[in-house]
Amino acid sequence: MIRAWARGGQSTGAVRVRRAVVLVLPGVWVLGVVLWELCRPSSGQLLQLLAAAPAIACAGTGRRQCVLLGGVCALLAMLPFGAVEPAAPLGTRATTCGAILAVVGASYLTAGRRRRLLRELARSREVATATQRVLLRPLPSRIEGLTLAAGHLSASEGAVVGGDLYEVTATRHGVRAVIGDVRGHGLPALGSVAALLGSFREVVHDEPELTGVLRKLERSQRRQLCERADSGQAADGAAEEFVTLLLVEVAQDGAVTALNCGHPWPYRIGGGEPRPGPAVAPLASVEPLPPLGLFPLPDALPTVGCGRLGPGEALFLHTDGAADARNGAGEFFPLEHELAAAVRAAGGAPSLVVAGVREALLRHCGGRLTDDVALVVLRNDPARVPAQQPSPRTPTPVAVMPRGKRGSLR
C-alpha cells in the first residue's frame, strides 16, 4: 500500500508539473513574439505567430484560457510595433487579428468535441472495467483455512483481463482452484475465458472428482466453439484453439491433488529439503496431458497426488506468460529465483509475494508484456483460536462423586 501511495503521489506530481508547463507555455510564447517584434521589428509579419498561442492553450488547459488568450493576442496584433508606415501595416495587422480570431473559434469548437470524447471514453472504460472484473472477479482474502492472493497483467493496452483465467472455490469436496491460459491474449480471448469460468463455477460443486470437472470443462469449450462457428464469428485458426488448464484440489486434511492439461506446474513454497530461506520447488514433475482442445481427453485421466500442504506452506500458481517473459536482451524471466526472493522479502504473505513477483516481472521486461500473466498464491494458514479465559460469571464446576458412593445420597 505504501508503494502504491508513493506511485500515486508521483503521478499526481507529474500531472501538476505538466499542467503548469502547459499553462505557462502560451504566455511565454506571446511574450517571446512581442519582445522579438519590439527588438527587431518585422513590419508586423512576426505577429502572425501569435495565432499559435490560443491553439496551444486550448489543447493543454481548456477553452476559457483559449478565449482569453486569443483576445489578448488579437489586441496585440492590432497594436503598431516599431516604426511602421500607417497604410500597409494596418491591413497586415487586421489580417493577423482575423487569423487569430479564426484560430480561436476553431480551437474552441475542437476543445469542446475533445472534452465530449474524453467523457465518453472514461464512461466506456468504467463499463469495460466493471464487466471484466465480474468475469475475472477478485478472490477472497481467505477461504476454508487458506489465505489467497492473485494478480493479473494483460498484454493488451487498456484491458484488465485477457486470455488468462483463474478461480478458487470452496466445495464440500475441498478447496478447488483452476488456472488456465487460452490460446492468444487480450480481448479476443474473453469468450473462451467466460465459457470456461462459467462452467467451472457451476460444475465444481457437483462433481466429486477432478476428472469429472475436467470433462465438463472440455464439453463447455467444444460447445462454445461450435456456437461461434454457427454464428460465423469464428476467427482464423479457431479449429486450433486450445487452452492450457490446471485443476488443483486441497482437501480438508491438506492433501493436494492436481490434474494438468499442458499447463506449467505450480511451485510449493515452504516444503522440500531444509535449506537457508524459504524453500521453493516445483509441485510435481509428471508429464502433463495435452492442452484442452487439441485432442479428445483419454478414457483414463490420471490425477496426480502432490502430498500434503502443511501449515504455513503455500502453492504458487502461474501461467506461462510469467516464465516466458523476456527482456530486451532476449533473456527469460528467472521465475523461480525471483519467487524465492519475493518470499524472503515478504515473509510468505501471499499478497506481498504476488506483488513482489509482479514488480520483478515488469522490471525485467521493461513494462512491455507480450503475453498475459496470471499469478495465484494459496497458503495453508489455519485460523488460530486464542485460549479463552474463564469469565467471572462462569459457574463453579460441580464435584463428581465416585461411582461407588453415588447411591448413598438420598
Measured CA to CA, the distance from residue 264 to residue 333 in angstroms comes to 14
Task: Please enumerate, as own/partner, the contacts of 29-32 that have beta carbons within 8 Å and a separation of 24 or more.
Answer: 29/53, 29/56, 30/69, 30/72, 30/73, 30/76
Mutual orientation of helices 350-364 and 335-346 as an angle, nearest 10°?
Answer: 140
Residue 389 has pLDDT above 80, yes or no: no
Quick one: cell of 314? 503455500
> What are the pLDDT digits (tens) for 10-19?
445 555 665 5
Task: Name residues whose C-beta falls within 8 Å of residue 10's C-beta, 6 or more positions apart in sequence.
Answer: none
C-alpha torsion sign, points 118, 120, 122, 128: negative
| Mean pLDDT in residue range 385-390 | 50
Lowest model confidence (mean pLDDT) among 83-97, 146-160, 234-248: 83-97
CATH number assigned to the domain covering 136-380: 3.60.40.10
Residue 126 has pLDDT above 70, yes or no: yes
Residue 201 has pLDDT above 80, yes or no: yes
What is residue 190's predicted lDDT score, i.e. its pLDDT? Answer: 76
Residue 386 has pLDDT above 80, yes or no: no
Lowest model confidence (mean pLDDT) among 15-24, 108-117, 132-141, 364-373: 15-24
How many residues make up the chain in this entry?
Answer: 410
pLDDT band at 361 (very low <50, low <70, confident <90, very high): very high
132 or 396, higher pLDDT = 132
What is residue 127's predicted lDDT score, i.e. its pLDDT? Answer: 74
What one-letter code names the amino acid at 129? T
What is residue 117's predicted lDDT score, i.e. its pLDDT? Answer: 82
Measured CA to CA, the distance from residue 211 to residue 284 in angstroms comes to 18
222: burial class by Cβ within 10 Å (0-12, 13-18, 19+)?
middle
Instruction: Return the closest-CA partner of residue 192 out of 219, 227, 221.
Output: 221
| DSSP run (H or E) holding 178 | strand 174-182
pTM: predicted TM-score of the whole model, two decimal places: 0.67
Lowest model confidence (mean pLDDT) among 81-85, 153-157, 206-210, 367-371: 81-85
What is residue 209's predicted lDDT score, i.e. its pLDDT? Answer: 93
pLDDT-above-70 percentage for the chain = 61
| Mean pLDDT in residue range 37-64 | 62
| Mean pLDDT in residue range 4-14 | 45
Quick one: cell of 191? 469468450
pLDDT band at 404 (very low <50, low <70, confident <90, very high): very low
Residue 62 has pLDDT above 60, yes or no: no
Residue 220 has pLDDT above 60, yes or no: yes
382 or 146, higher pLDDT = 146
pLDDT band at 54 (very low <50, low <70, confident <90, very high): low
| Mean pLDDT in residue range 95-115 | 71
pLDDT band at 8 (very low <50, low <70, confident <90, very high): very low
Contact 27, 61 (CB under 8 A): no
| Coil vs helix vs strand at 47 | helix
| Mean pLDDT in residue range 395-406 | 44
What is residue 405's predicted lDDT score, i.e. its pLDDT? Answer: 42
What distance separates the 2 farthest-apart alpha carbons in the chain?
Answer: 136
Q: CA separation (Å) from 256 to 37, 175, 220, 250, 304?
A: 81, 10, 25, 5, 9
> Cell 485477457 sits at which residue?
162
Write out the E strands in 293-344: 304-308, 314-318
Pinpoint the residues of the chain covered by CATH 3.60.40.10. 136-380
Partner residues linked to 250 by β-bridges: 175, 256
Partner residues linked to 295 by β-bridges: 292
Measured CA to CA, the distance from residue 358 to residue 371 in angstroms comes to 14
What is residue 93's predicted lDDT score, i.e. its pLDDT? Answer: 63
Measured CA to CA, the distance from residue 22 to residue 60 in angstroms comes to 6
Measured CA to CA, the distance from residue 345 to residue 358 in angstroms comes to 14
What is residue 351's predicted lDDT score, i.e. its pLDDT? Answer: 93
What is residue 88's predicted lDDT score, i.e. its pLDDT? Answer: 39
